[in-house]
Amino acid sequence: MIKLENISFDHCLKCTVCTIYCPVAKVTHLFPGPKQSGPDAERLRIKNPELVDASLKYCSNCKRCEIACPSGVQIASIIQEAKWNYVRKGMFRPRDFFMSRTDLVGSIATRVSTIANFVLGLSLVKFFMEIILKIPMKSVFPSYASGTFVNKFSRLRKSQAPYANRVTYFHGCFVNYNNHRLGRDLVRVLNAMNIGIDITDEKCCGVPLIANGYLEKAKKNGIYNIRSLSRMQRANGGKIVSTSSSCSYALKHEYSHFLKLDNSAIYDDVEYITKFLFDQFEAGNMPAMNPVPLRVAYHSPCHLERLGGVIYTIDILKRIPGLDLVILHSECCGIAGTYGFKKEYYQISKRIGSQLFQLIEHVNPEFVVTDCETCSLQIESNTEYRVLHPVNLLAMALESMPEA
C-alpha cells in the first residue's frame, strides 16, 4: 500500500541544487544527499518499500535543501517521513525517548536543577551516558533553571492585566526550563510597547518528537496546542508569538504539512517574534531605545531561513541604535535540534558547524545573536562566545533607558 500525502517530489527537476546546500552531504560521504534520499528514492520506495536506504538517517532535517529548491519540493519532510515509515519502529529507544521528551525531562530537572546540572556535568555520568544512551561525553547540555518560567510568570500575571493590546506567548520548553531570562525580557519589551502577555497551557511543540520519530505523540501535542492556543487567542484577540524559530515553524508549518493537522484556527496568528515586532514597528509602535554599543554577529538559523523570517530579525536588529551588527554568511551550525547530541552524528555535527565557528572567531564579536535555542547551545559549546536572542538585545536597549 502506498501512502501518498506528500507528492511534492513529483515537481523535482533533478537540477541538483539541493545537493550543493546540504550541510551534511558537504562533510560526510555517508549521506548521499537530499536529492537521492528524498525525491529520487521516494519513487522507488513507493514502488517497493524494501528499496529504502539506511543512509537517509543521516539527514538532520535542517531544511536547507527545501530552502534551495526552486521547485517547492518538501525534500526534508519526504526524508523524515521515509525515515519513520520504513526504518525501525516500535522498539524502545531510551536515548531518543528522553531527548524528545523535552517537557518531561525539563519539568523534572527544573525541580532539582542544582542537582540535575551537577549530575549532568559529572564525567562518570557522562561516561555512562555515552555507553548506554549513546550520547557523546563531550556534549554540553543546556543547564536547567530553577523552577519553570510558567511559575515565575504567574507572579507577573497581574501586572499584565492593564494592557488592552495582548498577545499569547508560546514560550516553548527552552524558555520554560532553561532560559527564563528570554521570557522575562520579552515581557519587558512588549510591555514597553504597551502590549500585555498571556500564556496558556502548552505542551512541547513537537519538533524533537518529530526528529526522533514519535509522530503520534507529536500529533497529540499538536492537537493539544492548537486547541489551547486558539482558545486563548479567541479570548485576548491578539497574535500568538514565539521566541523560538523552530517552535514557530512547527506551529505554522510542520503541523499542517507534516503532521497533517488542521491548524487553520491559529495559522494566520502565529508569528515568530521578530515578524510580530517588525509589523508593530512598521505601524509606528516602536519603543524608545537607548544605544547598545556592542559588536554582535548574527547567525540565521536554518528553520528561520526556511520560514523566510530572517529579514525581519535583521530589520529589528538594525533598528537598535549603536549596535555594530555583522551578519554572518548563512551556514548551518550543525546541531539541528537533537541531531548533534547523538553519538553517531556528533562528529558530523561539529564538522558542519566548523565553518560557522571559524567565521565567528574571525569576526570576533562581543556576542553572537541568534533566534534558535539549540543553535545557541552549539555555538556556546564550540566557541568562546556567549549567545543572545534578539529579544535580549532589545531588552538591553530598554534597560539602559533612564527611568521616566
Partner 1 sequence: MKRYETEVIIIGGGVTGAGILRDLSLRGIPAVLVEKDDIAYGATGRNHGLLHSGARYAVNDLESAKECVSENRILKNIARHCIEDTGGLFVTLPDDDPMYHTRLIEGCKIAGIKANEISSKEALRLEPHLNENIMAAIWVPDGTVDPFRLAASNILDAEEHGARVFTHTEVTEIIRSDGTAVGVRCKTRDNDVIELYGRVIINASGVWGQHVCSRAGIELAMFPSKGSMLIIDYRVNNIVINRCRPPADGDIIVPGDTVSIIGTTSRKIDYDRIEYLTVDDDEIEVLLADGEKLIPNVSRTRALRAYCGVRPLVAVSGDTEGRNISRGIVLIDHAERDGIEGFITIAGGKLMTYRLMAEQTSDLVCSKLGVKKACSTHKTHLPGSERKVRPGMNIKAFTGIPNSVVGSTLYRHGQRVHNFLTKDKKNYRLICECEMVTEGEVEYALKKLHVRDIVDLRRRTRVGMGPCQGELCAYRSAGLFHEYGSATPVESQKLLRDFLEERWKGIKPVLWGDTLRESEFTYWIYQGLFGLGNIKE
Partner 2 sequence: MAYDCLIIGGGLAGLTCGIKCLSEGLRTVIISSGMNALHFSSGSIDVFGYTRSKEPVNRPFDYIDMYTKERPDHPYAKMGSAGVREAIDFIVPQIARENLSLVTNGDENHFHVTGIGTLKPTYLSQPSVYNERIRAAWENREPIAVLNFEGYRDYYAEMAAEQLKKQPLFQGVDIFVDSIRLPYYAPTEKNLLEFRSIDLARVFDTEKYLPRIAGEIVKKAGNARIVCLPAFIGIRDYETIHRKLEEMTGRLIYEVPSLPPSILGMRLDNALKSRFAALGGEFSIGDTVNGGEIVSGLLDHVHTCNYGATRHRSKYYVLASGSFFSDGLRSEFNKITEPILGLTVNASQKRSEWYSEHFFDEASHPFLGYGVETNARLNPFDASGSPVENLFCAGALLCGYDPIREASGGGVAIATGYKAAREIIGLCRGARA
Which residues are near partner 1 by CB under 8 A? 1-4, 7, 9-16, 32, 35-36, 40-44, 46-48, 50-55, 71
Region of residue 134 (phi > 0: left; psi between -120 and 50: alpha; otherwise: beta)? left
Residue 311's contacts (CB-CB under 8 Å, 6 or more residues apart) are: none
Question: Sign of torsion, CA 320 390 267 192?
Answer: negative
- Of the two residues 52 and 204, which places its CB atom closer to partner 1 in the complex? 52
Binding mask 69-108 for partner 2 (x = CB under 8 A): xxxx------------------------------------
User: What's the closest the beta carbon of residue 153 comes to partner 2, in angstroms?
Assistant: 28
Q: Which does 44 bind (CB under 5 to 8 A by kind): partner 1, partner 2, none?
A: partner 1
- Of the two residues 53 and 380, which places its CB atom closer to partner 1 in the complex? 53
User: What's the closest the beta carbon of residue 71 comes to partner 1, in angstroms?
Assistant: 8
- Of the two residues 173 and 336, which places its CB atom closer to partner 2 in the complex? 336
Among 121, 291, 293, 308, binds partner 2 (CB under 8 A): 308
- Can you point out the beta strands (E) in 157-235? 165-170, 195-198
Cα 365 to Cα 193: distance, rounded to the nearest angstrom: 29
- Of the two residues 39 and 213, which places its CB atom closer to partner 2 in the complex? 39
User: What's the closest the beta carbon of residue 327 comes to partner 2, in angstroms?
Assistant: 6
Asked if 46 and 2 count as a contact pair (C-beta separation under 8 A), the reply is yes
C-alpha cell at 370: 541568534
Distances (CA, A) of 173 to 176, 189, 326: 5, 20, 29
Q: Which does 10 bind (CB under 5 to 8 A by kind): partner 1, partner 2, none?
A: partner 1
- Residues of span 326-365 touching partner 2 by CB under 8 A: 327, 329
Q: Which does 30 bind (CB under 5 to 8 A by kind): partner 1, partner 2, none?
A: partner 2
Asked if 383 and 356 count as a contact pair (C-beta separation under 8 A), the reply is no
Cα 377 to Cα 380: distance, rounded to the nearest angstrom: 5
The window from 61-69, 116-124, 129-137, 205-213 that contacts partner 2 (CB under 8 A) reads 61-69
User: What's the closest the beta carbon of residue 348 comes to partner 1, in angstroms?
Assistant: 19
Asked if 225 and 201 count as a contact pair (C-beta separation under 8 A), the reply is no
- Of the two residues 11 and 111, which places its CB atom closer to partner 1 in the complex? 11
The window from 24-32, 123-131, 152-160, 333-341 that contacts partner 2 (CB under 8 A) reads 24-32
Q: How many other CB atoms are found less than 10 A from the CB of residue 70?
A: 10
Asked if 39 and 79 count as a contact pair (C-beta separation under 8 A), the reply is no
User: What's the closest the beta carbon of residue 346 comes to partner 1, in angstroms?
Assistant: 24
Binding residues with partner 2: total (CB under 8 A): 43
| Three-state DSSP state, 367 | strand
Residue 172's contacts (CB-CB under 8 Å, 6 or more residues apart) are: 202, 204, 205, 242, 243, 244, 247, 373
Long-range contacts of 157-161 (CB under 8 A, 24+ apart): 159/191, 160/187, 160/191, 160/196, 160/197, 160/198, 161/196
- Of the two residues 81 and 305, which places its CB atom closer to partner 2 in the complex? 305
Among 15, 115, 119, 288, binds partner 2 (CB under 8 A): 15
User: What's the closest the beta carbon of residue 61 comes to partner 1, in angstroms?
Assistant: 20
User: What's the closest the beta carbon of residue 31 comes to partner 2, in angstroms?
Assistant: 8
User: What's the closest the beta carbon of residue 174 comes to partner 2, in angstroms?
Assistant: 22
Q: Which does 282 bind (CB under 5 to 8 A by kind): partner 1, partner 2, none?
A: partner 2
DSSP code string of 117-166: HHHHH-HHHHHHIIIII---TTPPPPPPPSS-HHHHHHHHHHHHTT-SEE
Q: Which does 124 bind (CB under 5 to 8 A by kind): partner 1, partner 2, none?
A: none
C-alpha cell at 9: 517530489
Q: Is position 286 an interface residue for partner 2 (rule: CB under 8 A)?
A: no
Cα 38 to Cα 35: distance, rounded to the nearest angstrom: 5
* Upper half-sphere CA count for residue 35 (Cβ side, 13 Å): 14
- Of the two residues 130 and 315, which places its CB atom closer to partner 2 in the complex? 315
Eight-class DSSP state of 194: T
Q: Is position 20 an interface residue for partner 2 (rule: CB under 8 A)?
A: yes
Partners of residue 170 on adjacent β-strands: 242
Cα 214 to Cα 203: distance, rounded to the nearest angstrom: 14
In the complex, the residues that contact partner 2 under the rule CB under 8 A are: 13, 15-17, 19-21, 25-26, 29-33, 36, 63, 66-72, 252-253, 267-268, 275, 278-279, 282, 304-311, 314-315, 327, 329
